[in-house]
Amino acid sequence: MRPSSPDHLWAEARDLQAKGKLQKARKLLVQARKLAPGSAGIALELGVMEAQMGMFKHAVTTLRDTIRIAPNSPNAHYNLAEVLRAVGKHEIAVTHLRKTLQLDPEFAEAHFRLGDTLMSQGNVTDALQHLELAATKLPQDPEVQLTLAQGLLELEQPQRALPVLSKLVQAHDDFLDGHIEFLFGLNVHARSSQVARHIRSMEKLFDMDEVIVSFDNDDPASLSALKILADSYQASAMQERAAQIGKILQHRKSTRNAGALLLGTLAIQDGDFDAAEACFMQMIERDPRSSEAMYRLSGINRLKLSYEPVLQDMLSDTENTGASDRLYAGLALYRLLSRNDRPKDAFRALATAKAISAEKYPYSGKPAERSNSDNKQVFSPEFFEKRGREGYDGEGCIFVVGMMRSGTTLTEQILAAHSKVHAGGERDDMMSIVESLRHDLTKVPDLPPDWAAAVGKKLHEEMFKDAGDAIYATDKLPGNIDYAGLIKFLLPRARFVYCRRTPEDCALSTFEQNFSTSVRYSSDLKAIAHRYALHEDIAHYWMHTCPLDMFELDYDALVQDPQPNIRKLLDFAGLEFEEGCLYPNEVKREIRTASMFQVRQPISAKSVGRWRKFETELEPFTAELARLRKKLGLNAP
């Protein structure tokens, strides 16, 4: 090799590059190119080095020369695409990435970059096939796995995305971006207990004070991460952390309303409605069309009639107002007009708003029908006669069940006022257990004899974990009525309080709420009737065909004549009467259900018969319920 030969200069440039002396290395490569203008290898290396030095204009020229010399070089096309991505020329970058893969279909990094670029252009479906290939070929690359999960979440495939993210954070527990994305997915698609578990694991892995401070800047990605953390802490009932982030968001110009919304919501959960009102009014002062602020104000009865015109305008403006804003506007308008004795106008706004949700999240009744069928097949009197003593023999567990909006929150609040009761709220222990069975109750008869005792013991321990000296613990998740047979199998001494309410009042109260997407039936009156009939059907089964230790509590009777009905409730639970149970509104505890405002007021019967104002509008519900009751052989109570 001659001292001044292109190969000698190339080798010397590599040595200098390894030592970090990029300027000197580049000069040698420029000399080598002049001596060997037809060398694709030298040109490629020079172009890559120029890109590393931030000399993108030079890099583009050099790499295009490389492709002219070697048009079938996948590396040349790939590196040119990388530079083009860096300077924002994504469409041309896509062309070169596709050419790279045409020349080398196994080029894993090219699949990743093409998928990532297509995602940035909004072409997620096309991106996904490339990201999946890249993830298979690069299983240890956290960025690849993260981008794949982001694509899956964007395509509404959480059942695939969440396992990818779970494996990612286990394999790379110091990869903060992975944890943040996992929290985002859990917040949207999982239960609050899963969010809580992960945010608590992050508290052990990271110094979260430092993490929060690191995100305290105006970078959009950092502010997005703060919002995700705030949602996670709020869902996990870690109020101080959530408030800490809320104050940061409130002081950032671009996130002031997000911070005020968070702090206002936390204030509602604490029962401080004055502080909540102040937060939401700040939002409206900054944005007079802040529909979510007006919706929150309507929930605590602090929304003024002067806001009607702007709400009407947003609700009817299908071209310039997003679906979410129209939904909030309609719900707020419904509450506002209802309280001002305009039921026809109010329901019209409500129906328009709920149609937005129903279209986006249609209801399917098949899972509920299958659940009833499986329950009756598995949990028969014969089953309990044969295997009913296999569960854990612990005492004190009370499950408050029924249809949503049937009075379960008030019932638990009454029990919470007793000195011997720990109120657990809407726990999701049973949902976790059912998930472990892959939502298939027909697997229960094939489980080993020691399964029920082990699972029941863990369930009992979880319910009493924070109970202190209390000897009773409650779970008021209404949907546990679907798992009452399984609960009885796990905890033979469990007691059930079944809350029943006038169907029309229950339907109206359900229809007017803005529940999560998991309660899809709440957006359609006929769907509510379907769910109501099925809940009546399984409740009748538990009380008459396969009797459980279940007390039927009539909500209407309770609120109209509290003391005798509260005494009956306490007698059933095995509790002595305490005067405080008559004043559940005075119980100081966090409430996170849709009834958080109502249960902080003294017991009142003003909600009884409220449906009569909307009798005509509720006819789709009443007619469908009558039809389904007849089909199921149910008599109206």
Q: Which amino acid is at 7?
A: D
Inside any domain, residue 172: no
Question: In this structure, is the dihedral angle defined by the CA atoms of residues 221, 225, 231 and 235, taken in order, positive or negative?
Answer: positive
On whether residue 235 sits in a domain, the answer given is no
- Residue whose entry in the numeric block shows the structure tokens 């698609």: 189
Contact 136, 104 (CB under 8 A): no
**For residue 271, what pLDDT is reported?**
82
Q: Report H helices in 340-483.
A: 343-360, 366-378, 381-387, 408-416, 429-436, 451-464
Domain range for 559: 366-502+535-605
Specify the pLDDT at position 588: 62
- Of residues 536, 524, 547, 573, the one with CA closest to residue 350: 524
Q: What is the pLDDT of residue 1?
A: 45
Residue 147 lies in a domain: no
* Distance separating alpha carbons of residues 190 and 478, to the nearest angstrom: 18
Does residue 61 fall inside a structural domain? Answer: no
- Residue 571 three-state SS: helix
pLDDT per position as a tens digit, 422-476: 999 999 899 989 989 999 999 999 999 999 999 999 999 999 998 999 999 999 9
Per-residue pLDDT of 135-182, as tens digits, reads 999 999 999 999 999 999 999 899 899 999 999 999 999 999 999 999
Residue 425 is classified by DSSP as -
Instruction: DSSP letter for 172, please.
Output: -
Residue 633 Ramachandran class (φ > 0 left, ψ -120 to 50 alpha, else beta): left
From residue 425, alpha-carbon distances to 142, 243, 589 in Å are: 37, 22, 10
Residue 14 forms part of a structural domain: no
Instruction: Please name the helix (run of DSSP H) or strand (run of DSSP E) that holds residue 397, with its range, or none.
Output: strand 397-402
Locate 637 and state its tokens. 């109570």
The answer to whether residue 144 is domain-embedded is: no
Q: What is the distance, to the nearest Å, from the Cα of residue 485 to the centroid of all Cα atoms in its chain?
A: 28
CA–CA distance, 283 with 354 (Å, rounded to integer): 24
User: pLDDT-based confidence at 594, cuts 50/70/90?
Assistant: very low
Q: What is the CATH number of the domain that holds 424?
A: 3.40.50.300
Q: What is the pLDDT of residues 183-232, one digit of tens each?
A: 999 998 888 888 999 999 999 999 999 999 999 999 999 999 999 999 99
Q: Is residue 596 part of a domain?
A: yes
What pLDDT was estimated at residue 237?
A: 86
- How many distinct structural domains can be found in the chain? 1
Domain assignment present for residue 306? The answer is: no
How is residue 436 written in tokens?
């472990």
Tokens describing residue 94: 């896509």
